[in-house]
Amino acid sequence: MENKDLNNYLQYLEFNRNYSENTLLNYRKDIEEYLVFLKIEHLDLYKIKYSDIRFLLEYYQKNKLKSMTIRRKVSSLKGFYKFLCRNNKAEDNPFDYVLLPKKEKKLPQYLNYNEMIEIFDVIDISSFFGLRNRLIMELLYATGIRVSELINIKLNDININNKSIRVVGKGSKERIVFFNEVAKKYLEKYIKESADKRKDDYLIINNNGKGITTRGIRLIIEKVIKETSIIKKIHPHTLRHTFATHLLNNGCDLLTVQELLGHSSISTTGIYTHVTTSHIQDVYYKTHPRGKNDCLK
Protein backbone atom coordinates (compact mmCIF):
# COMPACT_ATOMS: atom_id res chain seq x y z
CA MET A 1 0.00 0.00 0.00
CA GLU A 2 1.54 3.32 -1.14
CA ASN A 3 2.02 5.95 1.57
CA LYS A 4 4.14 9.06 1.17
CA ASP A 5 5.09 9.25 4.85
CA LEU A 6 6.17 5.60 4.81
CA ASN A 7 8.40 6.23 1.80
CA ASN A 8 9.91 9.29 3.51
CA TYR A 9 10.52 7.27 6.67
CA LEU A 10 12.29 4.48 4.78
CA GLN A 11 14.45 7.03 2.94
CA TYR A 12 15.36 8.56 6.30
CA LEU A 13 16.38 5.13 7.65
CA GLU A 14 18.40 4.37 4.53
CA PHE A 15 20.30 7.64 4.14
CA ASN A 16 20.40 9.03 7.68
CA ARG A 17 20.58 5.85 9.74
CA ASN A 18 22.37 3.62 7.22
CA TYR A 19 19.91 0.71 7.67
CA SER A 20 20.56 -2.40 5.59
CA GLU A 21 18.50 -3.39 2.55
CA ASN A 22 17.08 -6.39 4.39
CA THR A 23 16.03 -4.31 7.43
CA LEU A 24 14.33 -1.75 5.19
CA LEU A 25 12.38 -4.52 3.43
CA ASN A 26 11.19 -5.86 6.81
CA TYR A 27 10.14 -2.38 7.96
CA ARG A 28 8.21 -1.79 4.74
CA LYS A 29 6.48 -5.14 5.02
CA ASP A 30 5.54 -4.59 8.69
CA ILE A 31 4.19 -1.09 8.17
CA GLU A 32 2.32 -1.88 4.93
CA GLU A 33 0.65 -4.80 6.72
CA TYR A 34 -0.32 -2.37 9.49
CA LEU A 35 -1.81 0.08 6.95
CA VAL A 36 -3.99 -2.71 5.55
CA PHE A 37 -5.10 -3.56 9.09
CA LEU A 38 -6.08 0.08 9.72
CA LYS A 39 -8.13 0.16 6.54
CA ILE A 40 -10.00 -3.03 7.51
CA GLU A 41 -10.70 -1.70 11.01
CA HIS A 42 -11.59 1.82 9.72
CA LEU A 43 -8.87 3.43 11.84
CA ASP A 44 -6.96 6.62 11.02
CA LEU A 45 -3.18 6.26 10.79
CA TYR A 46 -2.59 9.71 12.27
CA LYS A 47 -5.25 9.61 15.02
CA ILE A 48 -5.02 6.06 16.34
CA LYS A 49 -5.05 5.70 20.13
CA TYR A 50 -3.35 3.27 22.49
CA SER A 51 -6.75 1.66 23.20
CA ASP A 52 -6.96 0.70 19.51
CA ILE A 53 -3.64 -1.15 19.57
CA ARG A 54 -5.15 -4.12 21.40
CA PHE A 55 -7.00 -5.05 18.21
CA LEU A 56 -3.68 -5.13 16.36
CA LEU A 57 -2.08 -7.36 19.00
CA GLU A 58 -5.11 -9.65 18.90
CA TYR A 59 -4.72 -9.79 15.12
CA TYR A 60 -1.05 -10.82 15.49
CA GLN A 61 -1.90 -13.50 18.06
CA LYS A 62 -4.79 -14.80 15.96
CA ASN A 63 -2.30 -15.36 13.15
CA LYS A 64 -0.07 -17.27 15.60
CA LEU A 65 2.96 -15.03 15.15
CA LYS A 66 6.00 -15.79 17.29
CA SER A 67 6.76 -13.35 20.09
CA MET A 68 10.02 -12.37 18.38
CA THR A 69 8.10 -11.48 15.20
CA ILE A 70 5.56 -9.42 17.16
CA ARG A 71 8.40 -7.60 18.92
CA ARG A 72 9.93 -6.70 15.56
CA LYS A 73 6.63 -5.49 14.11
CA VAL A 74 5.82 -3.35 17.15
CA SER A 75 9.37 -1.94 17.07
CA SER A 76 8.92 -1.05 13.38
CA LEU A 77 5.65 0.76 14.10
CA LYS A 78 7.02 2.50 17.18
CA GLY A 79 9.87 3.92 15.11
CA PHE A 80 7.46 4.97 12.35
CA TYR A 81 5.23 6.89 14.78
CA LYS A 82 8.25 8.53 16.36
CA PHE A 83 9.11 9.81 12.87
CA LEU A 84 5.50 11.00 12.32
CA CYS A 85 5.44 12.83 15.66
CA ARG A 86 8.77 14.51 14.94
CA ASN A 87 7.37 15.74 11.62
CA ASN A 88 4.07 16.90 13.20
CA LYS A 89 2.00 14.29 11.36
CA ALA A 90 0.80 12.62 14.56
CA GLU A 91 0.27 14.03 18.05
CA ASP A 92 1.10 10.91 20.02
CA ASN A 93 2.98 7.65 19.65
CA PRO A 94 0.49 4.95 20.71
CA PHE A 95 3.19 2.27 20.65
CA ASP A 96 5.14 3.95 23.47
CA TYR A 97 2.76 2.27 25.91
CA VAL A 98 2.72 -1.21 24.40
CA LEU A 99 4.26 -3.95 26.57
CA LEU A 100 6.22 -6.19 24.25
CA PRO A 101 6.02 -9.99 24.53
CA LYS A 102 8.87 -11.57 26.46
CA LYS A 103 11.87 -12.04 24.22
CA GLU A 104 12.60 -15.65 23.32
CA LYS A 105 16.13 -16.66 24.21
CA LYS A 106 17.65 -18.13 21.10
CA LEU A 107 21.32 -18.98 21.06
CA PRO A 108 23.19 -18.03 17.89
CA GLN A 109 24.17 -20.86 15.58
CA TYR A 110 27.84 -21.04 14.66
CA LEU A 111 30.26 -23.27 12.77
CA ASN A 112 33.24 -25.09 14.22
CA TYR A 113 36.70 -24.48 12.80
CA ASN A 114 36.77 -27.70 10.75
CA GLU A 115 33.52 -26.66 9.07
CA MET A 116 35.04 -23.30 8.20
CA ILE A 117 38.07 -25.03 6.67
CA GLU A 118 35.76 -27.21 4.58
CA ILE A 119 33.93 -24.11 3.34
CA PHE A 120 37.20 -22.51 2.27
CA ASP A 121 38.47 -25.68 0.62
CA VAL A 122 35.43 -26.26 -1.62
CA ILE A 123 35.79 -22.88 -3.34
CA ASP A 124 37.60 -23.14 -6.68
CA ILE A 125 39.83 -20.06 -6.87
CA SER A 126 41.13 -20.76 -10.39
CA SER A 127 38.56 -18.28 -11.76
CA PHE A 128 38.24 -14.61 -10.81
CA PHE A 129 34.77 -15.00 -9.31
CA GLY A 130 35.88 -18.08 -7.40
CA LEU A 131 38.65 -15.91 -5.94
CA ARG A 132 36.07 -13.25 -5.09
CA ASN A 133 33.86 -15.80 -3.33
CA ARG A 134 36.82 -17.07 -1.31
CA LEU A 135 37.63 -13.50 -0.29
CA ILE A 136 34.02 -12.91 0.79
CA MET A 137 34.12 -15.93 3.10
CA GLU A 138 37.61 -15.07 4.39
CA LEU A 139 36.64 -11.48 5.25
CA LEU A 140 33.34 -12.39 6.91
CA TYR A 141 35.13 -14.93 9.11
CA ALA A 142 38.23 -12.79 9.73
CA THR A 143 36.41 -9.59 10.67
CA GLY A 144 32.92 -10.53 11.86
CA ILE A 145 31.40 -7.70 9.84
CA ARG A 146 27.78 -7.65 8.71
CA VAL A 147 27.02 -8.35 5.05
CA SER A 148 25.60 -4.81 4.79
CA GLU A 149 29.00 -3.52 5.94
CA LEU A 150 30.93 -5.79 3.57
CA ILE A 151 29.13 -4.61 0.44
CA ASN A 152 29.83 -0.96 1.32
CA ILE A 153 33.59 -1.32 1.75
CA LYS A 154 35.49 0.77 -0.78
CA LEU A 155 39.09 0.33 -1.79
CA ASN A 156 40.22 3.43 0.12
CA ASP A 157 38.71 2.01 3.33
CA ILE A 158 41.38 -0.71 3.37
CA ASN A 159 44.84 -0.43 4.92
CA ILE A 160 46.70 -3.46 3.57
CA ASN A 161 49.89 -2.84 5.56
CA ASN A 162 48.04 -2.45 8.84
CA LYS A 163 45.61 -5.27 7.93
CA SER A 164 42.64 -3.10 8.87
CA ILE A 165 39.40 -1.92 7.29
CA ARG A 166 37.22 1.06 8.12
CA VAL A 167 33.57 0.01 8.10
CA VAL A 168 30.34 1.94 8.62
CA GLY A 169 27.83 0.07 10.78
CA LYS A 170 24.34 0.69 12.12
CA GLY A 171 23.52 4.31 12.84
CA SER A 172 26.39 5.39 10.53
CA LYS A 173 28.88 4.50 13.27
CA GLU A 174 32.41 3.94 12.00
CA ARG A 175 34.79 1.39 13.44
CA ILE A 176 38.04 -0.33 12.50
CA VAL A 177 38.16 -4.10 12.04
CA PHE A 178 41.19 -6.27 11.42
CA PHE A 179 42.00 -9.21 9.17
CA ASN A 180 44.66 -11.92 9.24
CA GLU A 181 47.52 -12.92 6.93
CA VAL A 182 45.39 -15.49 5.10
CA ALA A 183 42.72 -12.92 4.29
CA LYS A 184 45.46 -10.45 3.31
CA LYS A 185 46.84 -12.90 0.75
CA TYR A 186 43.47 -13.29 -0.98
CA LEU A 187 42.69 -9.59 -0.67
CA GLU A 188 45.91 -8.53 -2.43
CA LYS A 189 45.42 -11.09 -5.20
CA TYR A 190 41.76 -10.12 -5.69
CA ILE A 191 42.44 -6.37 -5.81
CA LYS A 192 45.14 -6.93 -8.45
CA GLU A 193 42.97 -9.18 -10.61
CA SER A 194 39.86 -6.99 -10.29
CA ALA A 195 41.60 -3.82 -11.54
CA ASP A 196 40.54 -4.24 -15.18
CA LYS A 197 37.05 -5.52 -14.29
CA ARG A 198 35.74 -2.99 -11.80
CA LYS A 199 33.56 -0.04 -12.77
CA ASP A 200 33.38 1.59 -9.34
CA ASP A 201 35.33 1.77 -6.05
CA TYR A 202 33.44 -0.89 -4.10
CA LEU A 203 35.67 -3.76 -3.01
CA ILE A 204 33.30 -6.64 -3.75
CA ILE A 205 31.96 -6.44 -7.29
CA ASN A 206 29.32 -8.39 -9.21
CA ASN A 207 29.49 -9.85 -12.72
CA ASN A 208 29.01 -6.36 -14.17
CA GLY A 209 31.98 -4.91 -12.30
CA LYS A 210 29.82 -2.88 -9.91
CA GLY A 211 29.15 -3.16 -6.18
CA ILE A 212 27.34 -6.34 -5.19
CA THR A 213 24.06 -6.45 -3.19
CA THR A 214 23.28 -8.23 0.08
CA ARG A 215 21.11 -10.64 -1.91
CA GLY A 216 24.08 -11.38 -4.15
CA ILE A 217 26.20 -12.25 -1.10
CA ARG A 218 23.44 -14.52 0.27
CA LEU A 219 23.23 -16.41 -3.02
CA ILE A 220 27.01 -16.88 -3.08
CA ILE A 221 27.03 -18.24 0.49
CA GLU A 222 24.15 -20.60 -0.28
CA LYS A 223 25.97 -21.87 -3.37
CA VAL A 224 29.21 -22.46 -1.45
CA ILE A 225 27.47 -24.27 1.43
CA LYS A 226 25.74 -26.64 -1.03
CA GLU A 227 29.19 -27.82 -2.12
CA THR A 228 30.08 -28.87 1.43
CA SER A 229 28.89 -31.74 3.63
CA ILE A 230 27.48 -29.26 6.18
CA ILE A 231 23.79 -29.91 6.88
CA LYS A 232 23.16 -26.92 9.14
CA LYS A 233 21.07 -24.08 7.76
CA ILE A 234 23.66 -21.37 7.22
CA HIS A 235 22.82 -17.67 6.96
CA PRO A 236 25.29 -14.83 6.29
CA HIS A 237 24.99 -13.86 9.98
CA THR A 238 26.15 -17.37 10.95
CA LEU A 239 29.69 -16.36 9.98
CA ARG A 240 29.45 -13.33 12.26
CA HIS A 241 28.32 -15.59 15.11
CA THR A 242 31.18 -17.95 14.29
CA PHE A 243 33.73 -15.11 14.41
CA ALA A 244 32.55 -13.98 17.86
CA THR A 245 32.30 -17.49 19.30
CA HIS A 246 35.76 -18.54 18.09
CA LEU A 247 37.34 -15.40 19.57
CA LEU A 248 35.72 -15.99 22.98
CA ASN A 249 36.56 -19.69 22.92
CA ASN A 250 40.20 -18.78 22.41
CA GLY A 251 40.40 -16.33 25.28
CA CYS A 252 39.35 -12.97 23.82
CA ASP A 253 37.55 -10.71 26.33
CA LEU A 254 33.92 -9.70 25.85
CA LEU A 255 34.59 -5.94 25.59
CA THR A 256 37.00 -6.46 22.69
CA VAL A 257 34.49 -8.67 20.88
CA GLN A 258 31.83 -6.01 21.48
CA GLU A 259 34.07 -3.39 19.87
CA LEU A 260 34.92 -5.57 16.88
CA LEU A 261 31.27 -6.47 16.26
CA GLY A 262 30.16 -2.85 16.58
CA HIS A 263 27.58 -3.58 19.29
CA SER A 264 26.43 -0.48 21.16
CA SER A 265 25.58 -2.51 24.27
CA ILE A 266 27.58 -5.22 26.03
CA SER A 267 24.30 -7.06 26.70
CA THR A 268 23.96 -7.71 22.96
CA THR A 269 27.39 -9.32 22.87
CA GLY A 270 26.63 -11.21 26.10
CA ILE A 271 24.56 -13.84 24.27
CA TYR A 272 27.80 -15.40 23.05
CA THR A 273 28.86 -16.21 26.60
CA HIS A 274 26.04 -18.78 26.72
CA VAL A 275 27.48 -20.46 23.64
CA THR A 276 30.98 -20.64 25.07
CA THR A 277 30.00 -21.93 28.54
CA SER A 278 30.25 -25.58 27.48
CA HIS A 279 33.70 -24.94 26.03
CA ILE A 280 34.87 -23.26 29.23
CA GLN A 281 33.49 -26.15 31.28
CA ASP A 282 35.31 -28.65 29.09
CA VAL A 283 38.60 -26.73 29.44
CA TYR A 284 38.10 -26.55 33.21
CA TYR A 285 37.71 -30.32 33.60
CA LYS A 286 40.71 -30.97 31.38
CA THR A 287 43.06 -28.50 33.05
CA HIS A 288 42.16 -28.28 36.77
CA PRO A 289 44.24 -30.72 38.87
CA ARG A 290 41.08 -32.06 40.50
CA GLY A 291 38.88 -31.83 37.46
CA LYS A 292 39.93 -35.21 36.10
CA ASN A 293 38.10 -38.43 36.94
CA ASP A 294 41.19 -40.15 38.31
CA CYS A 295 41.56 -37.60 41.14
CA LEU A 296 39.35 -39.82 43.35
CA LYS A 297 41.76 -42.75 43.18
Residue 165 C-alpha from the chain's centroid: 18
170 catalytic residue (yes or no): yes
Spot the catalytic one: 34, 141, 202, 272.
272
Q: How many CB atoms lie within 10 A of CB 98?
A: 18
Spot the catalytic one: 237, 274, 279, 292.
237
Q: Which DSSP state fits 153?
A: -
The H-or-E segment that residue 167 falls in is strand 164-168
- Decide: 11 and 45 in contact? Cβ < 8 Å: no
Spot the catalytic one: 134, 240, 241, 246.
240
Q: Which DSSP state fits 213?
A: P
279 catalytic residue (yes or no): no
Spot the catalytic one: 170, 184, 189, 198.
170
- Decide: 107 and 274 in contact? Cβ < 8 Å: yes
Spot the catalytic one: 78, 163, 166, 263.
263
Strand 158-159, strand 164-168: pairing:
antiparallel
Smallest CA-to-CA distance from 221 within 128, 118, 136 is with 136
- Decide: 21 and 43 in contact? Cβ < 8 Å: no
Spot the catalytic one: 146, 190, 202, 241.
146
97 catalytic residue (yes or no): no
Q: How many CB atoms lie within 10 A of CB 96?
A: 11
Rounded Cα distance, 15 and 273, in Å: 34
263 catalytic residue (yes or no): yes
> What single-letter amino acid sits at 130?
G
Catalytic residue IDs: 146, 170, 237, 240, 263, 272
